[in-house]
């Protein structure tokens, strides 16, 4: 992942789905890399649609007001734990702790 391509990860939060768009910044093979990310949320009462979640998350990733960033320590050359998997695993803890509010779905 040497370029700034947008990648996606999906998480379960309180019974709903969170789509996360992220991109890896910085120099290739640098052990400390900045990851920019943004999320979209789908209530368990709604039908989860990947394209719609990707669009919302990407729009938020490209907006200065809604994008978040985190510096991650990455290990290169480990075939059992590739970079993409390391990023998704590390982002999961940030997704749960950095949400703008505790995600609670409304029952209508």
Do the domain assignments include residue 103? no
Do the domain assignments include residue 104? no
Do the domain assignments include residue 108? no
Do the domain assignments include residue 25? yes
Tell me which residue range forms the domain holding 12.
7-98
Total domains in the chain come to: 1
The pLDDT of residue 72: 92
DSSP the chain: --S---EEEEEEETTEEEEEEEEEES-TT-SEEEEEEEEEEE-TTSPP-HHHHHHHHHHHHT-TTT-EEEEEE---S-TTS-HHHHHHHHHHHHHHHH-SS-------
pTM score, whole prediction: 0.81
Q: What is the pLDDT of residues 15-37, one digit of tens each?
A: 778 899 999 998 888 889 999 99
């Amino acid at each position: 992942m040497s370029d700034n391509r947008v990648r996606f990860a999906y998480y379960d939060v309180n019974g709903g789905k969170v789509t996360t768009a992220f991109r890896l910044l910085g120099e290739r093979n640098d052990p400390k890399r900045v990851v920019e990310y943004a999320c979209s949320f789908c209530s368990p009462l709604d039908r989860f649609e990947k394209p719609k979640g990707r669009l919302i998350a990407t729009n938020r990733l490209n907006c200065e007001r809604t994008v978040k960033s985190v510096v991650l320590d990455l290990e290169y050359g480990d075939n059992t734990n590739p970079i993409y998997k390391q990023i998704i695993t590390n982002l999961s803890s940030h997704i749960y702790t950095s949400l703008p509010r505790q995600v609670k779905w409304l029952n209508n």
